[in-house]
Structure 1
């Protein structure tokens, strides 16, 4: 009994030391992942909130546009060249724009030329020794101004030059005192040696860009949602409906959705190693062999024996790493040995065996690691499913707006062709009056060219329909000659408030790629922790106990009862130790897993940095697309106003005498108008696509569309099905 207590104490000490000597994989993962997340969250917080801070607020000033000049009337008394404080203040005010334009520049590219002038009264008295004539006096005045400007503008010596013109270039009458005062002057001219950048505070305000009116609708909007081909079987589709169709019918969706379900089966598979196992074994044996010793049989020269047994029991592995087995054996045995007693034996043996690792292979965490890895892999596959679905649906949305764009573009081309027909008809009506044959040919060529453009636009619509239908893969939307897919959604033209800092923080928490990278790192840490455990030697505690029963006349039933009624158990306890010298296999495996964790950490960092860049690009693109849309709208309105003016003049018979030339100008104006319409169309379609890209960049693509994964069982096959469905808005 004392020996058993000693073994129990030894086991407790070993188990306690094992539990305290290693850090859990969760703690180790937190030590790696939490500082990384904190680092990138801080990086996200340091991003600017306002995307306008990324804009280039400057105007390019060309050299010829940057020339300026001014004249300094310093009220020089006759013969004086020194600058007064009033003159200096005048100069500071004059050069303020130049100073602002040069602010912040490492290299000054400005050139200043100073010219001094005087009246016609020569210097006299003591001044004559310094300035023998008016030319030298005017040169000194120019020099004084040049020195002051160089100091104020921090210019190099070669950036400024001066000259004195004396009284050779008067601007007023030297016969009067007032005229002579005006002639005593210094003229300053500045120019930029090359193109330069001038900072401006608000480019949009300078361009006078205004938000598009809420009630504005382009003329083609009502026609885009109408049937264009009267022979077609049209189908009207909203974008949300097409997304749901794609989720239901796309073969790619089915491929994406099965992976998480496959990974889920691995969880149950790994749990299965802890399932209890029922076993049964039965065997009959007949022995008939010569014997080489009388001690074996007591006389007969051949040993003959009949043996039959049946063994049944239960085995189970525990999450501690231990294995237990309980087995009941019953059997008959008889032989011809005179020493075999009793004859015709019936036997029963009940055995219990328990084996528990104490080092290598011990502990709940180690033995449940495969289950944890399977769960993490399942979560990774779910994130991949969300990523793939978001990417596919984003492509559906892009194709939807591409179809909208092509339908609108076709309408614009048709309108342009109709207008050309009208112009040609007018020219034909004036044939023989003032229309030259060459002008008629040019007008007809324009008409034919516009018709050709409309033909190409028709094909573009069919191609866009085909691509969208292929992405959705719905049999009802097969693109064929009798099919017309009509887009019914109106594009967004209002401003969406954007915040780069908030978008980056949202992406860190919701982007599937980031979640995947963190979980892959977690799985790597678990694997590394397992190999660390396997570096330890094998030290197992083993315990066995057996109950025995034996009767003659093959009385198995009584032998079974004797197991419990007669005698006591046989038992044994001990330890089993095994250690590989050098332990190269375990060390190599642990080193490989450690390197993998390092690689996964770097991969996580790369993923996050890429995602943060994508978010910034998405927000800036949304901001840029909106500003471009406003500019294109303003351009379109201006072109339409110009065309309206030409139309009004023609209607009021206010055209030039050469009416055919005027109609040619009208054709050109129509082309310019449709170019700006196409520019506006492209810009607001790009804005709506940027809207979708923004949702995907932040990881909220599905959530923004009220979509979520749902798993259910297929009634026909009984297999699980994973599908993205519309959220039930009634659920709380």
Structure 2
């Protein structure tokens, strides 16, 4: 009764107040639109972190359904559309992460920003691997000095004091005394030397005092002097210079092998550092992309949670939360991978400042991948590898060593025939007049003796075995050289194939990313304006989340291919043996101490052809600063009598053909307009008014080579 009375009362009051059913329906619709408009008035903060251009207001208004056609489900909040890709090679909006990679991505208080030049200088200065192989090459250089020292002269000095007291069994010995008593004091000095043709030469001078109790010892208190010369010279094959210098030549060849091994080890470490640098860039970019994906998914999750009491289904909220949890877990994995990559780069560099830090230093690379599309033919690349690859040079020196051993073994198969010569001058005087005897020894004719020595082992089995061993070793090293050449050709061909694949994938990955961005834009608009039952809305949400994941995967694939392309360039330079040349690194060895220093060229022209007038204007300094083609300087700069310093000459290197080298990896190419900017700071050229009208312009001179000891300005804290 009470309920029925209340309903009748309401029905009677509503017409009186002017609120009929049509009016109430209009009020409900207006209230609903007001709430929806207020709910979507502001974008959440996460959409501002996309780093891409915002859509125009007209596009947003056009996407909103007009009043009167409101679907059963209210549309979600407007989301930013993604930018379309631009021309390949430019910094496109599609690569929005490029600038953010050079900023901090880890929550650390200390960070350091560096470029590739700085990290290479620190590697040359601190890497234990590079220092170790440098010391090893220096130690083999000392063996050359040791073997060459065998031809140095040896000074001989000696002296003895003697007293003889022997019983006499013959009266003719002493003339009556029962014991022979003699006293002597002798001094001798001389020089012994082995020449490079195998001749053994010894020259000695002896002076002394001698006295005896013999009646036949005349004169008494004798002072004697004797000058002796002995000479032994091989006459057959063992008298050749190549045979007697075989140990020196062997030490030099072994030093060349060690030098090439050192170059190969340094190139490999430099390649590892550059690869780790780009891997670090890749890890930072992928972490940034994954965090952006997580931010977009969290935006959808918050939107659905805010509408859970209105029209958001529980299954939609659950799907969004599941995607957020999975993507947050992937962020943790990528952060751990980034920290591992930082630790690997620090270990390769070997700097105590990076390794000894309290694990709170963030390494931020400044450079981004530069795709220059340099094309190499297989023929040119293999030609470069055959000329510059350290492994091929080392194997070639091994074959050269085998040829030396074989020639020495053939010489030892022959009999040994020596010419022996002995000569002397002698004089003695009484009353211990040694000085008089020394002077008078040249007044008399010398005593001489000469002869031949012939030596031939029976059967010569040892020498025959040595010859067979040397022959087999030469064949083994020849096959080893063939293997190294074939392996080098395989490495070069593989590197070229990888580069071609990466270059093609750069285009395909950009296309994939472009379509993924377009797909996400379309699905975002569809999810924004879709109406209908909850099942269709759930499918659209699932498709949108999958499209977001596909877009992020496409971004990661593009970054991975870009880093792989830069690493592929390094691997190609490593396969051709031109990585040190390409990076401007010159190993130089002192001819005195054998210590190895690595010089870094700040400027390396690809091709410089100067006229005679320009050479005279440039002077000798331009020649000194120009890097060598092989980057293999084995001796310091020599000075002539005028005090001018000559350019370093590569040791035991054949003349090279001029082959164009690619520019440094990751550096912009040097053009003609940029060359004048490389002038030194101090200008000594007179003003233009004082110059001669017909004077040729001075060419741009390279900057001085920077040693790894020179502090680098590439570090930014």
Q: State the TM-score, normalizing by the size of structure 2.
A: 0.70
1:415 paired to 2:304: no
| In 1: Cα distance, 2:406 partner to 2:247 partner | 12
CA contact (8 A) 1:712 1:720 kept: yes
Give yes or no for the alignment of 1:674 onto 2:548.
Answer: no
Instruction: Work out which of the residue numbers 393, 401, 406 in structure 1 matches 2:278.
Output: 401
- Say whether the 8 Å CA contact 2:316–2:541 is kept in structure 1: no
The equivalent of 1:112 in structure 2 is: none
In structure 1, C-alpha distance between the alignment counterparts of 2:467 and 2:134, rounded to whole Å: 34
Pick the structure with more strand per residue. Answer: 1
Deviation of 1:430 after TM superposition, in Å, equals 2.7
Task: Provide the residue aligned with 1:373 in structure 2.
Answer: 250
- In the alignment, structure 1 segments of 5+ residues that lack a partner are 1-208
Cα distance between partner residues in 1 of 2:543 and 2:458: 95
Task: Specify the SS of the correspondent of 1:338.
Answer: coil
User: d(CA) in 1 for partners of 2:532 and 2:373?
Assistant: 44
The answer for the alignment partner of 2:562 in structure 1 is 684
Mapped partners of 1:343, 1:221: distance in 2? 105
Aligned equivalent of 1:508, options 386, 389, 400: 386
Equivalent-residue separation in structure 1 for 2:372 and 2:177 (angstroms): 109
Q: Which structure has the bigger radius of gyration?
A: 1
CA distance in 1, matches of 2:86, 2:363: 34
Tell me the equivalent position of 2:581: 703
Deviations 1:673-696 (A, max 9, x none): 111111112111111111110110
Alignment partners' CA distance in 2, 1:426 and 1:517: 68
CA shift for structure 1 position 712: 5.6
Describe the superposition over 1:624-650 as per-residue Cα deviations: whole angstroms up to 9, x where unpaired: 111122111111111111111222344
- Separation in 2 of the partners of 1:728 and 1:480? 33
Tell me how far apart the structure 2 counterparts of residues 689 and 380 of structure 1 sit (CA, whole Å): 28
Q: How far has the Cα of 1:383 moved from its partner?
A: 0.6
| Partner residue in 1 for 2:141 | 264
Contact 2:225 2:427 in 1 (8 A): yes
Q: Distance in 1 between matches of 2:530 and 2:567?
A: 45
Does residue 363 (structure 1) correspond to residue 237 (structure 2)? The answer is no
CA–CA separation in structure 2 for the residues paired with 1:310 and 1:210:
95
Mapped contact 2:279–2:341 kept (Cα < 8 A): yes
SS at match of 1:490: coil
The answer to whether 1:225 aligns with 2:99 is no
Q: 1:439: which partner in 2? A: 316
Alpha-carbon displacement from aligned partner over 1:245-294 (angstroms, at most 9, x marks no partner): 11101111110101121111111111111101110111111111111111
Q: In the TM superposition, what is the alpha-carbon distance from 1:452 to its structure 2 partner?
A: 1.0
Q: Tell me the CA shift for residue 654 of structure 1.
A: 5.1
Quickly say closer, same or farther: Cα 1:210–1:435, change in 2 above 3 A. closer
Backbone CA RMSD of aligned residues: 1.9
Say which of 348, 355, 361 aligns to 1:483: 361
Any gaps of 5 or more consecutive residues in structure 2?
Answer: 1-84, 604-621, 627-717
Q: Is the 8 A contact 1:276 1:316 kept in 2?
A: yes
Establish whether residue 552 from structure 1 lines up as the match of residue 426 from structure 2.
Answer: no
Q: Give the C-alpha shift of residue 216 in structure 1.
A: 2.9
1:348 aligns with 2:225: yes
What is the Cα deviation at residue 334 of structure 1?
Answer: 1.4
Match of 2:442 among 564, 568, 581: 564
Q: Which residue of 2 aligns with 1:302?
A: 179
Match of 1:334 among 211, 227, 240: 211
Relative to structure 1, the CA distance from residue 596 to residue 210 in structure 2 (aligned partners, 3 Å threshold; closer, same or farther) is farther
Q: Contact (CA 8 Å) 2:418, 2:453: kept in 1 or not?
A: yes
**Contact residue 294 and residue 327 of structure 2 kept, 8 A:** yes
Q: Which residue does the alignment assign to 1:533?
A: 411
2:193 to 316, 326, 330: 316
Mapped partners of 1:508, 1:257: distance in 2: 24
**Cα distance between partner residues in 2 of 1:499 and 1:656:** 60
Three-state SS of the structure 2 residue aligned to 1:361 is helix
Contact between 1:434 and 1:659, CA under 8 Å: does it hold in 2? Answer: no
Secondary structure of the 2:166 match is strand
Q: Does 1:647 align with 2:524?
A: yes
**Separation (CA, whole Å) in 1 of partners of 2:566 and 2:532:** 44
Name the residue aligned to 1:693.
571
1:331–1:348 CA contact under 8 A, matched in 2: yes
Q: Report deviation, 1:660.
A: 4.2
**After superposition, what is the alpha-carbon deviation per residue over 1:268-322, rounded to whole angstroms, capped at 9, x for unaligned?**
1111111011101111111111111112222212111112211111111111100
- 3-state DSSP of counterpart to 2:202: strand
Query: In the alignment, what sits opposite 1:40?
Result: none
Q: Measured at CA, do residues 338 and 281 of structure 1 come closer, stay the same or move farther in structure 2, by a change above 3 Å?
A: same
**Equivalent of residue 450 in structure 1, options 304, 315, 327:** 327
- Per the TM alignment, residue 480 of structure 1 is displaced from its structure 2 partner at its CA by 3.6
Distance change in 2, residues 1:394/1:369 (3 Å): same
Alignment of 1:170-209 (within 5 A): none
1:566-605 pair list within 5 angstroms = 567-605=444-482
Contact 1:649–1:655 (CA under 8 A) maintained in structure 2? no
Secondary structure of 2:238's aligned partner: coil
Length-normalised TM-score, structure 1 = 0.68
- SS of the residue 2:271 aligns to: helix
Name 2:669's counterpart in structure 1: none
Instruction: Provide, for residues 47-80 of structure 1, a one-character-per-residue CA deviation record: whole Å limited to 9, x for no partner.
Output: xxxxxxxxxxxxxxxxxxxxxxxxxxxxxxxxxx
Contact 1:328–1:350 at 8 Å: present in 2 too?
A: yes
**Do 2:580 and 2:586's aligned partners in 1 also have CA atoms closer than 8 Å?**
yes
